[in-house]
Structure 1
Amino acid sequence: MKKAEVVLIPLPAMGHIVAVVEMAKLLVQRDDRLSTTVFVMHPTLDPSTTKYTETLAVSTLPDRMRVINLPSLESITSATKGRHSWLTCLIEGQKSHVKEYVSKIRTRYELNPDSPRLAGFIFDIFATGMKDVPNEFGVPWYVFSASSAASIGSMMHLTALHDEQGVDLTGLKNSEDELEIPCLANPIPAKLVPSMVFEKDSLTTFLEHARILTEARGILINTFLEFESYAINSLSDGKTPPVYPVGPIVKHVGGGGDLRSDESNNYRDIMEWLDDQPPSSVMFLCFGSWGSFKEKQVKEIAIALEHSGHRFLWSLRKPSQNGKKQSPSDYEDFQGILPEGFLDRTAMIGKVIGWAPQVEILSHSAVGGFASHCGWNSTLESVRFGVPVATWPLYAEQQFNAFQMVIELGLAVEIKMEYWKDFYGDTEIIVSSDDILKAIKSVMEEDSEVRKKVKEMSRISEKTLVDGGSSFSSLGRLIEDMTENMS
């Protein structure tokens, strides 16, 4: 095979960019004839991504891998309102820039046949509106899902319900019904399906991208066969393009060196504190780049932690103010938000922090439990490092992930599976300290069934990416498919 170039385009949101960048690394590390280019669209959905992509620009990427920040289309932020039209406009506006860069790859190859030839595109599931570009260049395109195989299955099934049976999916939000979905062994409460289907605007985006999925040459999923065997097998239905489970792809441990100086100090402080704790003794609480709670809920969490008596490391973030949908920030002082005297009373066993280097913390031997929002990257990290989860989903498909982890797979315990974060209003479900305490005790129990199962799945996950493993073989098949017409 000659040298080949693969272009990857993520949705411009933190979890999606991180997963696609790690996928690009995996490709070049696997086959030294491959090169990868990741295009990051701007503006992004999440301000924290800007810092991450700036870090990538100066960090040492593997040979034959590039990350290119596309020009920012600031005009679309004020001109468009809904998420659906925002994303559509962003992709339309960026097509010409992607074409320009890809034309250069083509020209380089024409001038010098020893340079990489364009082999194909890999799009995030919500960036498939860019499919005109590979179609124009006559190369195949694949979809990469930063969510689970079951999530893909639910997407296909919900779209079929809408298109073939005329089901009003927005009505599922308040439904007490259960749904039978082919990718799940158990019926799921309708209100736990991915929340994009509950609002008309986001439902349009959801359906549009689910329909496009069937046009892809193949679907790469950040999962592994032994973890989601039921869901992966259900996708071999003849209607879905070939599926390639290529995970668990988790962000590389040891990214601390790329941090800003203030984060670098925090990082050292956190890791030194963990070094002083006994093995599997610390309950870690972290709710993702959008995870935060108002004061009343913060106090319930604090009461539960104090009463549990367990050591804890709590990433506590400040919600955006005035109802704006912005990612949380760090508190300057925790005293005002926590119960009076809490920090003094728990000083010997607990540590409250802002920003958290999640992968490094989860991979530390002192951590024994993880209260999580159940974003898919976080779910895979917990499995990869053998840390059982107490599920507290907030939005998107996190309730679906929590159901899968607790009910389908038995790899997590529930804090509150049907919790929904209200970004705009003042209504907030309050989860009681009793419910939180019960979950903490359950997840931190030394010889629990959940802990044993997670440790076993962790051992399996280690083997899956190395020679002979299921994801290793799957990635090999993908590379073969991408490059078979190029030799």
Structure 2
Amino acid sequence: MSTTSELVFIPFPAIGHLVSMVEMAKLLVDRDDRLSVTVLIMKFHFDSKIDSSLKSFTASVTTRIRFVLLPQRNPSRETSPMAFLYQFVESHKADVRQALADLSSCSLPRLKGLVIDMLCTSMMDVAIEFSIPSYVFFPSGMAYLGLMLYLQSLQDEQRMDLTSLNGSDAELDFPCFANPLPAAKFLPSEVLMKEKRPIYLGHARRFRESKGILVNTFAELEPRAVEALVGLGAPTVYPVGPMLNIEVESKKGCEILDWLDQQPDASVVFLCFGSFGSFDEDQVKEIACALERSKRRFLLSLRRPPAKDKSEVPSDFADPTEVLPEGFIDRTAGVGRVIGWAPQVAILAHRAIGGFVSHCGWNSILESIWFGVPVATWPQYAEQQFNAFELVAELGLAAEIKMDYRRDLMKGSDSIVMADEIEGGIRRLMEGEEAEERRKKVKEASEKSRKALMEGGSSYLSLGRFIEDVTSQ
């Protein structure tokens, strides 16, 4: 059967958003040979990882998925990070308009819709111009989607001044979780600042204008949140996850994986904090002290923070000993390794990994569940990570290291998590009866995540409903 229906994907140019969206494109064209997908790629000038990822995608996908790199735009950075991101997406509207015009000029395949990232909702304006439906791809969990819609409803429908909750003792009776949540900890910072709030709540407002929302989760992981969204007035929601690139290529000759091959099963704690994760020297020393005192085998991914007030991504240290305690590498040579960038999927898939200290990025949470690895939570620089923490804690899948730690991507953090707290979290993660019980629960969740994508599974069926909606127009 020839391709008759075209979808255009607009991912946000962060690797976690991009990868999950490409994985969904793969599933769609594999499921139905009437479908083809064009992915329009925006690129930050300071992030080189998009180039290498694009080469990898192009080499690994079917011809019914093609990638179009849009011209690079660099709006002024003399604004808050959130305003910069909004302006960055806005600056590409004309490019997207031209790309859609080129696709529309062909009689087949017929353009059936725009699938846009949760941070690219202004692109709905372009879909309206072309009289095609828009769908939102939400790369975080269902609970965070619920939080965005809930806060938008509190302001727009109940006329609540959300800034009044800043620093208050108020609790939010957030329907996606069993217990009320302290507003001061779980309210996104964007909601509490006048210059950011319109952008944050504007995204949530536009979610309601879409024809449907595809969420990178599975119903068995967040059943309460799936049910709550009905009461929040969301459009049709499709839980289609976990959308992960879990292909573990052969890594023969990779020193880290060779070292893991020599370790006992489930004996190594892996510390990794995402593509934007980094720490200042004082915090690195506390982490190192905790690891040394815990006497656990470890693999620590350590990256250099960008210069203050610079829109850059972290980089590897030329020599990590410049920030580690003196003699640390020598003293721990028999039990641990310190590395820079980490092949996270390959590491989590390894039998030697027994625990994962994570910043609670949604992809990292889904990967840990997929591979059955318990997590010690240290959420850091985005509010959806706090929702991920609350979810895995409620399900009994995680131990806590620090809940109220915040790190600004451009300014760093004013607080330090001390070695005692980190060591305690590592011990709770790796030792004792609670750790064993947690490991069993993660294994059960892992089985559910895999079944969800199998024929007849909840996400398989949900994706099928989305395909039917697209192709029946």
Q: TM-score, normalised by structure 2?
A: 0.93
1:230 equivalent in structure 2: 224
CA RMSD of aligned residues (A): 2.1
Unaligned runs of 5+ in 2: none
Listed as ranges, the matches of 1:133-172 within 5 Å are 133-172=126-165
1:203-246, Cα deviation, whole Å (9 max, x unpaired): 22111111111111111000000000000111122711011000
1:467 equivalent in structure 2: 455
Structure 1 426/105 Cα, relative in aligned 2: closer, same or farther at 3 Å?
Answer: closer
The answer to whether the aligner puts 1:391 opposite 2:385 as a matched pair is no
The answer to whether the aligner puts 1:183 opposite 2:184 as a matched pair is no
**Structure 2: distance between partners of 1:426 and 1:56:** 32
Aligned residue-pair number: 468
Deviation for aligned residue 1:86? 3.0
1:202 corresponds, among 175, 178, 196, to: 196
State the SS of the aligned residue for 1:277: coil
Q: Is the 8 A contact 2:306 2:410 kept in 1?
A: no
The answer to whether the aligner puts 1:24 opposite 2:25 as a matched pair is yes
Deviation for aligned residue 1:291? 0.9
**Structure 2: distance between partners of 1:68 and 1:197:** 34
**Structure 1: distance between partners of 2:309 and 2:83:** 21
2:388 corresponds, among 401, 405, 430, to: 401
2:467 equivalent in structure 1: 479
2:403 corresponds, among 417, 426, 451, to: 417
Q: Is the 8 A contact 2:303 2:341 kept in 1?
A: yes
The answer to whether the aligner puts 1:50 opposite 2:50 as a matched pair is yes
**Structure 2: distance between partners of 1:255 and 1:141:** 35
State the SS of the aligned residue for 2:376: strand
1:67 equivalent in structure 2: 67
Q: Is the 8 A contact 2:286 2:417 kept in 1?
A: yes
Q: Is the 8 A contact 1:14 1:48 kept in 2?
A: no
Deviation for aligned residue 1:176? 3.0
1:82 equivalent in structure 2: 80
Structure 1 160/382 Cα, relative in aligned 2: closer, same or farther at 3 Å?
Answer: same
1:273 equivalent in structure 2: 259
Specify the code of the residue in structure 2 equivalent to 1:428.
D
Deviation for aligned residue 1:327? 1.8
1:301-345, Cα deviation, whole Å (9 max, x unpaired): 111111112111000111122443432111111212111111111
**Structure 1: distance between partners of 2:52 and 2:240:** 23
**Structure 2: distance between partners of 1:446 and 1:59:** 45
1:351 equivalent in structure 2: 337
Q: Is the 8 A contact 1:5 1:120 kept in 2?
A: yes
**Structure 2: distance between partners of 1:174 and 1:232:** 30
Structure 1 365/102 Cα, relative in aligned 2: closer, same or farther at 3 Å?
Answer: same
**Structure 2: distance between partners of 1:198 and 1:56:** 40
Structure 1 85/255 Cα, relative in aligned 2: closer, same or farther at 3 Å?
Answer: farther
Q: Is the 8 A contact 1:443 1:451 kept in 2?
A: no
1:129 corresponds, among 122, 125, 128, to: 122
The answer to whether the aligner puts 1:4 opposite 2:5 as a matched pair is yes
2:96 equivalent in structure 1: 98
Listed as ranges, the matches of 1:221-370 within 5 Å are 221-237=215-231, 239-254=233-248, 268-370=254-356
Specify the code of the residue in structure 2 equivalent to 1:120.
G
After TM superposition, the structure 1 stretch with the greater mean CA deviation from structure 2, 98-107 or 352-361, is 98-107
Structure 1 283/48 Cα, relative in aligned 2: closer, same or farther at 3 Å?
Answer: farther
Q: Runs of at least 4 residues of structure 1 off by over 6 A?
A: none
Q: Is the 8 A contact 1:325 1:424 kept in 2?
A: yes
Q: Is the 8 A contact 1:10 1:16 kept in 2?
A: yes
Deviation for aligned residue 1:293? 1.2
Q: Is the 8 A contact 2:112 2:132 kept in 1?
A: yes
Specify the code of the residue in structure 2 equivalent to 1:77.
S
Q: Is the 8 A contact 1:84 1:204 kept in 2?
A: no
**Structure 1: distance between partners of 2:281 and 2:422:** 16
Percent same amino acid at aligned positions? 49
Deviation for aligned residue 1:21? 1.5
Q: Is the 8 A contact 1:194 1:399 kept in 2?
A: no
1:34 equivalent in structure 2: 35
Unaligned runs of 5+ in 1: 110-114, 258-263
State the SS of the aligned residue for 2:422: helix
State the SS of the aligned residue for 1:284: strand
Q: Is the 8 A contact 1:196 1:396 kept in 2?
A: no
Deviation for aligned residue 1:87? 3.6
After TM superposition, the structure 1 stretch with the greater mean CA deviation from structure 2, 46-55 or 449-458, is 46-55
After TM superposition, the structure 1 stretch with the greater mean CA deviation from structure 2, 147-156 or 201-210, is 201-210
Q: Is the 8 A contact 1:83 1:201 kept in 2?
A: no
Q: Is the 8 A contact 1:286 1:373 kept in 2?
A: yes
Q: Is the 8 A contact 2:139 2:216 kept in 1?
A: yes
Q: Is the 8 A contact 1:147 1:376 kept in 2?
A: yes
